[in-house]
Structure 1
Amino acid sequence: MTSKVPFVTEVWQVYVLIFLLQSASAAFTPTFQATIPDVLPEEDRYTRALSLSRLAYDLENIVSPTLAALLLAVMTYNTLFFGTVAGFAASALLVVSVLIPSPKSAEPRGIYDRTTRGIRIYLATPRLRGLLALNLAAASAGAMVLVNSVVLVRGQLGLGESALAWTMFAFGAGSMIAALALPRVLDRTSDRPVMLAGAGVMVVALVTFAVLVLTKGITWPSVLATWLIVGLGYASVLTPSGRLLRRSAHSEDRPAVFAAQFALSHACWLVTYPLSGWLMSALGLAPALLVLAAVAGLGIALALWLWPVGGSEAIPHTHENLPLDHPHLHGHRSHSHPLVIDDAHPRWGSQF
């Protein structure tokens, strides 16, 4: 085997490198996301940070491949590789140099409790169960874009690399437009209707594209328009998700809850990625669009059922699980406040 990656001579080594890179991403990403609420405790500033984070992510996906191609025209692959390594090292040094607020230390817990706490909090919280269902909707539409764009543009339309780049840019542009608009929208509207509307936009876009394919055939402008609209809906679902996670856990539990979101959302992608590819190869474009739209629609239906209106409001409840002198009770077993799953509130309800 001839490899352009330094020190790599076998195929299995490439798989090991991919595994290590993805493992590092799985460790870094939830920790990074859970830190932002401590840096920006005000919700309006946090919302704008989520918007900028989404914008940076989309810009990176669009600019990085183009920049890499331009750099390869003037330098060798090995030089670019080591330049990327230097960039990672510089980023690590910048992170180390920043003073980050430390959340309150968590209570000592056993290994099972520590390992499963994030998942248990996530699945016990109605708004987060609804988020998981909307993750399925986003993964269904996103998988159609990410898995099948090259098949549509290069294979079925016979267009070149630049057309593929513009097609992916349309998806990223839709996502960036939504990210820029969302802070103002979320100032006036709660997360639930915005996220449900975003998921609905994706379903409508996929179904409309399927109808166009069946009646008029596939055209590049129709692909661009569909991917732009899917990008709008995709960002409308994913960008506010940090607000739900922040609202659903105390600071000491946030890393575990953000890690649960990372794992469960990737489980959705684990299903929709191969499903999207198989549908496209076995049934064709229109059936693939309709099936993935149906899966996304199922996600919306589950979110409506699992995430009732008013879940963020103060909920009256009674504590029988705590002594009357417990600091949380202030001498009263019955009280009202927005629920967060923790040791005092081990489940969602009105009686503990």
Structure 2
Amino acid sequence: MTVEADGAGEPIQKFGQEPPGGWRFARPTEARATSVSEVYATVPVPQWASWLRRLLTRSAGSPPSISCAQQNSSMFSVLADRTYRHLFCAQVIALVGTGLMTVALGLLAYKIAADKAGAVLGTALAIKMVAYVGVAPVIGGFANLLPRRAFLVTMDLVRAAVALALPFVDRVWQVYVLIFVLQAASAAFTPTFQATIPDILPEEGAYTRALSLSRLAYDMENLISPMLAAALLALISFNWLFVGTVVGFLCSAALVMSVTVPQAAPSQRKSGIYDNTTRGIRIYLGTPRLCGLLALNLAVAAAGAMVIVNSVFVVKGVLGGSDRDLAIALACFGGGSMTAALLLPKLLERVADRTVMLLAATALGVVLTAFAGVVSIGSLWPGLLVAWTLLGVANSAVTTPSGRLLRRSVHPADRPAAFVAQFALSHVCWLLTYPLAGWLVPVAGLVATLVVLAVLTLAGAIAAAWLWPATDP
């Protein structure tokens, strides 16, 4: 039997008789065991004494063993927390209301502008991005100075008021003004809401499951809201869909009011208009891990723009498919994203975030490149369904863990500003890729568009690998 020795060469502990070959003494330069548990951890003991080691190890402060079933708890276990459960339900209800409003807004644009409805919706989308990119840092810079619950409820009430006013407008400019106000409120609400969750669920495993649930909620909304709107439109006029949106925002406000929302940690930094509005972006761009996340945002936006902007052209323009075929293609993307969201919590317990996110971003570019090859040989419909499913999986694998990086990279007092910066900068990427994906197809063709977006996606993945140090978790 071998034992460790102290710096003078004397055995620390003996068990039984001296073994053949004598005691093995540690050299003076070796680290000395500092506790009973460490001694027993380095000394092989007989089988009959294994219970003693466990007893001493536990008495020295080590936690009791936890079963695999306890470690790998269900993703839905975080809903046992009342505060998080209410906030998650508020998010889901507000998302469904927003989905109904998206359908109703398209019909309202057609009612007001008829053949120019597409231009109206395109401008409304641009206004949304301007609000997200320009307004979010300004409002978010001061959001952490206000009571969180009151701020979130106020933003919900503003959105409800705008949705209530939309059915009564009859001018295009009125639509634009109301959309700007609504999206500005959303730009203030969303990152503040996101920054609240890690304060409610400080344990990383629980927070990861919450991120996956949030991703699942977004994907489910994309699938359910259009179907719900179609069912309602069979019974009521489209103006009543705005009422559904109002109800959604009011329910969200009531659920937020029903719980105690933790206030952001006080910041010791200097305050001022410039500091408050730019602090999040300065912290973000000064953190190598988050610079890598920004490059990953570009990769996601390039691949996602292909799906969001060009699915209708590929399915109906190239394949001559129906609205049902378009719904199937988009359902493949959403289904892939939901599958990844369900699997990620356990995967991230075993694999580092950096590895998962970089591999997923690379997969986005590879899938776009492969689909370009499929288009060139003509096997379009099966290839489209497979490609959109894989893009959904990879998209979710990149975006879902991003909240973990933000939580890990900044102090609690700076967390709201960092989430605002992520919200704004990620939408800058979308603001670049949306028009690129739309303009390239009529100018250069589908294959060239896929190749350009694939190159942009892979460039984002490579930049992320370079900017995000491998030593960072």
Matching residue of 2:168: 7
Which whole-Å CA distance do the structure 1 matches of 2:304 and 2:380 have between them? 20
Matching residue of 2:262: 101
Residues 182-221 of structure 1: CA deviation (Å, up to 9, x unaligned):
001100011000000111111111000001111x225222
Tell me by how many angstroms 1:69 deviates: 0.7
Matching residue of 1:28: 189
Of the three residues 332, 345, 368, the one matched with 1:170 is 332
Paired residue total: 311
Of the three residues 414, 420, 429, the one matched with 1:268 is 429
What amino acid does structure 2 have at the position aligned with 1:136?
Answer: L
What amino acid does structure 2 have at the position aligned with 1:238?
Answer: T
Of the three residues 213, 230, 233, the one matched with 1:72 is 233
Matching residue of 1:196: 358
RMSD of aligned residue pairs (Cα, Å): 1.4
Which whole-Å CA distance do the structure 2 matches of 1:9 and 1:163 have between them? 34
More moved, 95-104 vs 237-246? 95-104
Q: Residues 189-228 of structure 1: matches in 2 within 5 Å?
A: 189-214=351-376, 216-217=377-378, 219-228=380-389
Tell me by how many angstroms 1:3 deviates: 4.0
Matching residue of 2:213: 52
Which whole-Å CA distance do the structure 2 matches of 1:213 and 1:154 have between them? 15
Of the three residues 209, 212, 233, the one matched with 2:394 is 233
Gaps of 5+ in 1: 313-352
Matching residue of 1:126: 288
Tell me by how many angstroms 1:311 deviates: 2.2
Tell whether 2:321 aligns with 1:159: yes
Matching residue of 1:326: none
Tell me by how many angstroms 1:85 deviates: 0.8
1:141–1:230: 8 Å Cα contact kept in structure 2? Answer: yes
Matching residue of 1:332: none
Which whole-Å CA distance do the structure 2 matches of 1:81 and 1:103 have between them? 33
2:374–2:380: 8 Å Cα contact kept in structure 1? Answer: no
Matching residue of 1:306: 467
Residues 53-82 of structure 1: CA deviation (Å, up to 9, x unaligned):
100110001110111111110112222221
Matching residue of 2:449: 288
Tell me by how many angstroms 1:2 deviates: 4.0
- Give the greater-gyration-radius structure (CA): 2
Tell me by how many angstroms 1:41 deviates: 0.2
2:215–2:338: 8 Å Cα contact kept in structure 1? Answer: yes
What amino acid does structure 1 have at the position aligned with 2:358?
Answer: L
Which whole-Å CA distance do the structure 2 matches of 1:29 and 1:218 have between them? 41
Classify the secondary structure of the residue corresponding to 2:372: helix
Tell me by how many angstroms 1:21 deviates: 2.2
Gaps of 5+ in 2: 1-109, 114-165
Which whole-Å CA distance do the structure 2 matches of 1:106 and 1:3 have between them? 48
- With normalisation by structure 2, the TM-score equals 0.64
Residues 170-192 of structure 1: CA deviation (Å, up to 9, x unaligned):
10011001111100110001100
Matching residue of 1:342: none
Matching residue of 1:297: 458
The answer to which structure has the higher helix fraction is 2
Matching residue of 1:181: 343
Which whole-Å CA distance do the structure 1 matches of 2:343 and 2:261 have between them? 28
The share of aligned pairs that are identical, in percent, is: 60
- With normalisation by structure 1, the TM-score equals 0.86
Residues 272-301 of structure 1: CA deviation (Å, up to 9, x unaligned):
100011111111111100100000111011
Which whole-Å CA distance do the structure 2 matches of 1:94 and 1:86 have between them? 12
Which whole-Å CA distance do the structure 2 matches of 1:45 and 1:59 have between them? 21
